[in-house]
Amino acid sequence: SAHDLARIITTLREKLPLAPDCEITIEGRVLNFDAERIDACLDAGANRFSIGIQSFNSKIRKKMARTSDGP
């Protein structure tokens, strides 16, 4: 949930000796990112999101079990 992600990020920032300007990246599938999760992560200190494209080739995406409409 958005709250859980924010809690994890906040705890990591509090407990680990991180530089104030460190990069905190959240990685996931575009289908799992909604405005609530993005806002919660940003508010907790995340400053980078990775939602990279694996491939635009439909045949490769099928073999990888990656579709645009869910797992």
Residue 38, C-beta contacts closer than 8 angstroms, at least 6 positions apart? 49
Residue 19 lies in a domain: yes
Instruction: Report whether 61 contacts 69 (CB < 8 A).
Output: no
Domain with 53, as residue range(s), is: 2-64
Structure tokens at 4: 């859980």
Q: Give the pLDDT of residue 30.
A: 79
Q: Give the pLDDT of residue 12.
A: 94
pLDDT bin (cut points 50, 70, 90) of residue 8 is: very high
Residue 59 lies in a domain: yes
Residue 51 lies in a domain: yes
Q: Give the pLDDT of residue 64.
A: 75
Residue 52 lies in a domain: yes
Helices and strands (H and E) in the chain: how many: 3, 2
Instruction: Report whether 48 contacts 38 (CB < 8 A).
Output: no
pLDDT in tens, 16-69: 999 989 999 999 887 788 999 999 999 999 999 998 776 777 787 777 776 665
Residue 71 lies in a domain: no
Q: How many domains does the chain have?
A: 1
Q: Give the pLDDT of residue 57.
A: 78
> Is residue 50 within a helix (H) or strand (E), and if so which, with residue range?
strand 48-50
